[in-house]
Amino acid sequence: MAAVRLFLLPTCLGETSPWDVLPGIYPERIGNLRVFFVEDLRSARRFLRKVGFKASFEEVLFIELSEHTADSCLENVLEKQGVDARRLARQDMGVLSEAGLPCVADPGALAVEWAHRKGIQVVPLSGPSSLFMALMASGFNGQNFAFSGYLPVTPKDRQNRIQELESRALKSGQTQLFIETPYRSQQMFESLLASCRPSTRLCVACNITLPDEFIVTKTVADWKKAPAALQKKNTVFLISA
């Protein structure tokens, strides 16, 4: 009997053709799957149809993982959703990211942790990652870097965190990456300009893989001369010495 597998399925970073960024083997990998761990049911269904998934959704089990389940164990999530964990572990499954790679700044890691505990083979598929593509294009240190997720929302706490990360970058040469929700990207950018030293290098990488992709590295002093307009854009920020 073949080993049960959990496929980690990347998605597009926005409204672009899947076949510009996803591997050609993708339709073959998803064609026989009838169980998916997803963050949002509606967008997952829409994406599956976009990449040629033919089965009726009445035959498919969708298990929702979100920021609200991230601190639970999967058994508790399954129990709340009325899913038999023992029966589930007998068939191939998939984890769908909301954007980009699953389990990176994404609650899908809960399913992967469970799969390893159950001896289920984990199979990652290649696809776009805004974090790594931004790092590649920044010109910053790719040998030593750290991703800090979302920074604090309140201005004072955000400023303190920015200065902490800047200090780490200056002392160790470690590239610092972080993200922000699209509706707060402009605020984050302005906080960076107000908090960082003029000589600190800042890379702004937004809407990666989309037609209006924008990836630019400048010193903070140069950014102040010609600020970017980032409102409502998915943005990765990187700072370096």
Concatenate the DSSP letters of all residues of 72-121 into one string. Answer: S-HHHHHHHTT--HHHHTTS-EEEE-SSBSTTSSSTTHHHHHHHHHTTPE
Q: What is the pLDDT of residue 71?
A: 61
Mean pLDDT value across residues 155-164:
97
- Give the tokens for residue 1: 């009997």
Q: Does residue 123 contact residue 111 with C-beta atoms inside 8 Å?
A: no
What CATH number does the domain located at 5-124 have? 3.40.1010.10
What CATH number does the domain located at 130-240 have? 3.30.950.10
Q: What is the pLDDT of residue 88?
A: 84
Rounded Cα gap, residues 150 and 67, in angstroms: 13
Q: What is the pLDDT of residue 66?
A: 79
CA nearest neighbour of 236 among 101, 131, 103: 131
Cα angle for residues 237, 239, 240 (degrees, 5° grid):
155
Concatenate the DSSP letters of all residues of 3-57 into one string. Answer: PPEEEEE-B-SSSS-GGGTS-TTHHHHHTT--EEEES-HHHHHHHHHHTT--S-G
Q: What is the pLDDT of residue 22?
A: 95
CA nearest neighbour of 8 among 119, 107, 79: 107
Helical spans, DSSP H, in 139-219: 155-172, 185-195
The verdict on pTM exceeding 0.85 is yes
Query: Looking at the predicted structure, is the pLDDT value of residue 1 above 60?
Result: no
Boundaries of every domain in the chain: 5-124, 130-240
Q: Could you give the 3-state DSSP secondary structure of residue 168?
A: helix
Residues 6+ apart with CB under 8 A from 153: 184
Q: What is the pLDDT of residues 112-122, one digit of tens each?
A: 999 999 999 99
Q: β-strands 175-180, 5-9: how paired?
A: unpaired
Strand partners, 122: 6
Averaged pLDDT of the chain: 93
Residue 162: pLDDT band (50, 70, 90) is very high
